[in-house]
């Protein structure tokens, strides 16, 4: 998997319907830190959607831009339903809250992370 669109394709191919959990974050750099290293992740907004509600990464970025919120990265996860029935937005509330809490505490290893071009990244938390 190299791009967000690959994530969409994989989610659509699952036997059980999926709901995608997306948290848009900004990076607040530390005062004396290297621009490419360090900083704090600040969740700015989150959304849950079925894979069919997202046409492409480009369309998702257009939608996110309309909110007026600055963001640098997207943290993504998927919540499986049962058969053709995807989880509801209500079902996604607690997992989204848990994602935000995890990002705030540096527990990020279980999430996919994408940059503004949709490329997948590998991040590590420094404690």
Please indicate, yes or no, if residue 67 is contained in any of the structural domains.
yes
- What pLDDT digit, counting tens, does each position of 7-42 carry? 999 999 999 999 999 999 999 876 555 555 667 899
Domain span at 110: 4-29+39-81+92-121
Please indicate, yes or no, if residue 58 is contained in any of the structural domains.
yes
pLDDT score for 78: 97
pLDDT score for 30: 64
For 94-111, b/e burial (b = at least 16 CB within 10 A) is: ebbeebbebbeeeebeeb
Please indicate, yes or no, if residue 126 is contained in any of the structural domains.
no
- What pLDDT digit, counting tens, does each position of 58-115 carry? 999 999 999 999 999 999 999 999 999 999 999 999 999 999 999 999 899 999 999 9
Please indicate, yes or no, if residue 111 is contained in any of the structural domains.
yes
Please indicate, yes or no, if residue 18 is contained in any of the structural domains.
yes
- What pLDDT digit, counting tens, does each position of 46-74 carry? 999 999 999 999 999 999 999 999 999 99
Please indicate, yes or no, if residue 34 is contained in any of the structural domains.
no
Structural domains in the chain (count) = 1
Cβ–Cβ < 8 Å for 80, 29: no
């Amino acid at each position: 998997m190299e791009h967000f669109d690959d994530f969409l394709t994989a989610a659509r191919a699952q036997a059980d319907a999926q709901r995608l959990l997306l948290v848009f974050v900004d990076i607040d750099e530390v005062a004396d830190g290297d621009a490419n290293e360090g900083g704090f992740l600040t969740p700015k907004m989150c959304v849950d959607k079925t894979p069919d509600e997202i046409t492409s990464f480009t369309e998702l970025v257009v939608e996110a831009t309309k909110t007026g919120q600055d963001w640098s990265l997207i943290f993504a996860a998927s919540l499986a339903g049962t058969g053709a029935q995807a989880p509801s937005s209500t079902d996604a509330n607690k997992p989204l809250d848990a994602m935000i809490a995890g990002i705030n505490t540096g527990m990020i290893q279980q999430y996919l992370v994408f940059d503004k071009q949709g490329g997948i990244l590998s991040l590590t938390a420094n404690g």
